[in-house]
Amino acid sequence: MDKSLFTHRGMWTLWDYEHFKNITSIEEFENTFNNLEDIEKHVKLNKFVPIHVHTNGEFQFRVKINEKLDKREKKYVSANSGTYLFEASGKTYLSGIELIDNIVFENEVIELDLEKGFYEVEINLVEWDKEPGMRLEDGSSAPDALPDFIVEIRSVDKLKKKYKTSVDTFGK
């Protein structure tokens, strides 16, 4: 499942709809995500996985559920987030952080119908343009280029003792 997603706040996120469905206004959004410490609280509650790369724009995402990276994907991964823990209540979305709201527009998100439960999530940053022939003369990506990010979501049978809780996806 591949899709281009935009953010103007420098962060995308995997988020649990039930946890955030009471956000109905910009004021409630700002109160919920006032600063990085507020965001980290939701990461620690396992309801939010940040994809924080400190830049705005539109990037291509691929989501893999209970599926490993293939050989080609592995070859061009330049950074891995480490493992976050995510608890799904059912409806789950991947979007720019500014789109967390009780009203979701299908064209702006990747909707995931995860069964209730715990999942391990890893974010992979992909250097798709390092693959020969994938950057076209005009600078755009070839139709069969890899995405910018691959989000791996795996069902959890047994919880580990420690998961990543940092808002800085590719840092410590």
- Which residue ranges make up each domain of the chain? 2-155
Please give the structure tokens belonging to residue 7: 């953010």
The separation between CA 39 and the C-alpha centre of its own chain, rounded to angstroms, equals 14
- The pTM score is 0.94
Q: What is the pLDDT of residues 102-125, one digit of tens each?
A: 889 999 999 998 999 999 999 999
Q: How far apart are CA 14 and CA 99, in angstroms?
A: 11
Q: Is 22 in a helix, a strand, or coil? A: coil
Q: What is the pLDDT of residues 62-117, one digit of tens each?
A: 999 999 999 999 999 999 999 999 999 989 999 999 999 988 999 999 999 899 99
Q: How far apart are CA 79 and CA 87, in angstroms?
A: 24
Residue with tokens 């720019």: 96
* CATH code linked to domain 2-155: 2.60.34.30
